[in-house]
Chain A
Amino acid sequence: MIGNVKNYLLYFISMIFSVVIYYTFVSLQYSPEVKKAIESSDSILNIFIAGSVVLVLFVAIFIFYSNSFFTKKRKKEVGLYSLLGLRKKTIGKMLFYENIIMGGIAVMIGIIVGTILSKLFTLIVLRLLNAPVEVSFGISLDAIVNTFIVFLMISLFTSFRAYRLIYRFKLIELFRAEKEGEKVPKISFIAALTSIILIALSYWLGYQPPTNNIQVLTNLLLFLFCIVLGTYLLFRFLTIYLLRLLQNKKTSYYKGTNLVGISQLIYRINGNARTLTMIALLSAVTISAISVGYSFYYTNEKQAEKEAPFSYMHISTSESVDKQIEDVIQSDREHSFIGQMDIPVIHVNGEVSSPLLQDYLKNGPIKIISENTYNEALKIVGKESNIQLTGNQTIGIRPLLTEYTSNDFEEHLVTLQLPNTELDLAFSAMVEDRILPWSYPDFAIVVSNQMFSEIAAQVTPVTIKAYEVAGEKTTKDTTVQLQKLASEEMQLITYYNIYRKGLESGGLNLFILGFLGLVFLAATGCIIYFKQITESHEDRSRYEILRKIGVSKKEVNAVIRKQMMFVFGLPLIIGVVHGLVILQIASNIFSVLIGTNLTVPIVITTLLYFIIYLSYYLLTLTTVKKTVNN
């Protein structure tokens, strides 16, 4: 009976957990504070919707898992009812109502707990968005309705499954359920080898540089297929194969408790392969997703600086408008004026002799600036530069979102198509600091002052007005005023806008990915915990036999610890390695990540993950030890 209470409790708690998570998330989506904090377009709110879809899927899978875990434990009980003469229909109805009532109570408790938690998470979101933190204690009706509908569907489904239980199995099968020990698994060298090949193939695919969109998509699908199947086969066959190899090394296998530990692992892996695969893959997704989210957020400031090198930039159209704009900027007392300059830029079509650069440039215009302008502009934004060029020498500025180096430029020629002639310039180097706002193709070159005036004689330069002010992250008011003044063709770019947009999408991304990651982590942790506890109940008799034939408590604990380390450690290691590969792919797809250093986000994420995972390991280990030793 006590055991049964435990089963109910586990199932009940996992349902409440799911409701709490889902409700918390959805109420954030409907929260007025969060909506207010998001200045940029509503489309960012789509991130929330995408997040909740992933969450629904995950929550559904998690509940089905704990439901089938729960039913498996109760098969005998159900068989007993049938044996005592209850009609199948009565039993089915009983299970149906029981399940739906449990679901109803779980939703209620979950919403209450979720209301409290959602306030906490609102604070975190507002914090990430740099918004003023004032949270009212309201209840969102929309969120309640949304949660209620989702869990009604899930509960109906699981309840129906519970109803069908008595019809699905023969009486004898219900009684045998608990004893359903796993048979000793067969070894398959081919399957073990296939797992390595598939994983290697998926890694190889992951490291392929993308060429075009269709290929990226097919590669991605193929990658997913290979990595999922490969990981499953790895747990199902490769681990067994390797453990069998260990078994064949008699000198170490027949030493102490290795005999028990290894054989027990082999015996258990069959039933655990699917769980371990799921855990490894979820770990991989979590680690890579949080790393990506974190690096978006973490690199936002630098990224904004590259995209908008000055606080305000626009193309000069008429002197009167230019004057108005300057007045607005000058009148902003809170952000003291640092400097202003006119940047003359010549747009000319041309070709580059380097195939790599030509591929980037296509037939877009090349932007030309003079060495003086470049040096001066960098001085205003507080950077050192002293470029001096003569004759046909030119220097390339690294296009944004690329990882080109000086080597890609040096010794190559750029041919400018001027109205009357063609002009060949030779690259002598590449620099990274940018002074122009981003536009595609982002291909700018610096030429000598003399060369610039020669070209300017044939093609009229466009003047870009650039202003730099102090504290450019908070220039919201000025930005709004300028946006009213500036026309479309002036292409006004303010640092604030770029920064803010990055912060919002980065912050929300980080929050949602972090939230989902934590949920995945908590759920996978619970799944291993459930599994290990159930198995430890089954293993008790085995350890009792060991104790009888003279294995000390200490040795029994050591055997348990070794097995746990395997069960927890292997998916973690594989998850981390997979995660790194997924990150590689992510940085190929999200061009913003190109050229950013991901080491810090990855190390922090992995470390955090590891610490949480470790506490699950310790919790499980203590519980299992207690179960076995009592």
Chain B
Amino acid sequence: MNIVVDAKNIKKVYGTKGNVFTALDNIDLNVYEGEFVGVMGPSGAGKSTLLNVLATIDQPTSGDIHIDGTNIVNLNEEQLATFRREKLGFIFQDYNLLDTLTVKENIILPLALAKVDVNELEERVHEVTRTFGISQILEKYPYQISGGQKQRTAAARAIVTKPSLLLADEPTGALDSKSATDLLESLKELSEINLATILLVTHDAFAASYCNRVIFIKDGKMFTELVKGKSTRKEFFQKVLDVLSALGGGLSDTI
């Protein structure tokens, strides 16, 4: 299996002398192609920092990160922009759709930025919108659709470029349970059928139970790791809950 994310000794320190806060403390992380990996931990554990560092939105204080063979630590701003565009896909809790664009235009945006040929572009949009079941609302604007539809649009936008790595930051945080389930099913299907590599940061044990593997971090350090293996989703969900209660503070988050 190809390795997609190869991060070693990532350290992220905030603040200046005397008032230093270590958000990430020597984290190692490997993610392989087609894996659906969850990252969990209590508030302030460093989940979002880890995601931002991997997303190249934030720079680590030290450490090396290779994504799809490229060392992202050494890239300049221009190269980073191109890298994000070509290799990464994002799904955020607050959707981050552009309200000036229709659903279809939002999905097209990354392809348009990459200057993809119009025919190919239409085809790819057709493909992903079918995957996420949003073909009916293509001409609508974000303010006209529901939260679940918005998040599926965001997901469609994230994968339309066939990124090497899909990063999802609390994607189900603002969704009702039905919409959340739909989205998670779609993501799972993507990783299983299209071999998409997904990194999911979440509070929610239910969302995490859709992953192949869940990494727990606490106080910026790796706490433990759970692999789903052959267990059913229900059993895995229970295991995740057990770890969370052991982690402390996590349980209150899941309620």
Contact = CB atoms under 8 A, between A and B. Distances in A.
Given A549-B90, A552-B78, A256 B100 contact: no
Contacts of B97: 545
B82 A552 contact: yes
Contacts of B113: 256-257, 549-551, 555
Interface residues of A, number: 28
Contacts of A255: 112, 115
Interface in B46-95: 55, 57, 77-78, 81-86, 88, 90, 92
A251 B118 contact: yes
Given A254-B118, A549-B90, A550-B88, A267 B112 contact: no
Nearest to B83: A550
B77 A553 contact: yes
Residue from B81, B96, B115 whose CB has the most chain A CB atoms within 10 Å: B81
A426 B203 CA distance: 104
B145 to A, nearest CB: 13
B118 A550 contact: no
Contact of A259 (B78, B86, B105): B105
B250 interface: no
Interface in A258-316: 258-260, 263-264, 266-267
B42 interface: no
Contacts of B118: 250-251, 254
B198 interface: no
Nearest to A184: B141
B220 interface: no
A184 B101 CA distance: 9
Interface in B138-188: 141, 143, 157
Nearest to A251: B118
B77 A552 contact: yes
Contacts of A257: 112-113
Interface string B87-129: 0101010001111110001001111110110100100000000
Contacts of B121: 254
Contacts of A258: 112
B101 A263 contact: yes
Nearest to B76: A552
A260 B82 contact: no
A323 interface: no
Residue from A250, A546, A547, A552 whose CB has the most chain B CB atoms within 10 Å: A552
B115 A552 contact: no
Contacts of B143: 181, 183
Interface in A593-628: none
B112 A548 contact: no
Given A550-B110, A554-B78, A256 B98 contact: no
Nearest to A255: B115
Nearest to B79: A552
A176 interface: no
A542 interface: yes
Nearest to A264: B100
Give the interface size bracket for B toward A: 20 to 34
A120 B151 CA distance: 62
A467 B75 CA distance: 87
A555 B112 contact: no
A236 B96 CA distance: 28
Interface string A168-187: 00000000000001011000
Nearest to B110: A549
Contacts of A555: 81, 113
Given A542-B100, A550-B84, A260 B115 contact: no
Nearest to A262: B100
A628 to B, nearest CB: 14
Interface string A239-261: 00000000000110011111110
Contact of B55 (A251, A266, A545, A548): A548
Residue from A254, A264, A554 whose CB has the most chain B CB atoms within 10 Å: A254
A552 B83 CA distance: 10
Given A254-B108, A258-B112, A259-B108, A550 B100 contact: no
B84 A549 contact: yes
A250 B117 CA distance: 10
A553 B80 CA distance: 11
A38 B53 CA distance: 74
B215 to A, nearest CB: 23
B104 to A, nearest CB: 10
Contacts of B90: 548-549
A63 to B, nearest CB: 32
A263 B55 contact: no
Nearest to A549: B110
Contact of A549 (B77, B78, B85, B116): B85
B53 to A, nearest CB: 14
B98 A545 contact: yes
A409 to B, nearest CB: 65
Contacts of A548: 55, 57, 84, 90, 92, 96
Contact of A256 (B55, B57, B81, B115): B115
Nearest to A267: B100
Nearest to A252: B118
Interface in A515-571: 542, 545-555
A255 B84 CA distance: 18
Contacts of B78: 552-554
Nearest to B116: A254
A255 B96 CA distance: 21
Contacts of A251: 118
B84 A256 contact: no
Contacts of A260: 98, 100-101, 109
Contacts of A256: 112-113, 115
Given A257-B112, A260-B100, 9 more contacts: A259-B108, A259-B112, A542-B98, A548-B90, A550-B84, A550-B86, A550-B110, A552-B82, A553-B78
28 contacts: A184-B100, A254-B112, A254-B116, A254-B121, A255-B115, A259-B109, A263-B98, A263-B105, A264-B100, A267-B99, A542-B98, A542-B99, A542-B100, A545-B97, A546-B98, A548-B57, A548-B90, A548-B92, A548-B96, A549-B84, A549-B157, A550-B81, A550-B110, A552-B77, A552-B81, A554-B78, A555-B81, A555-B113
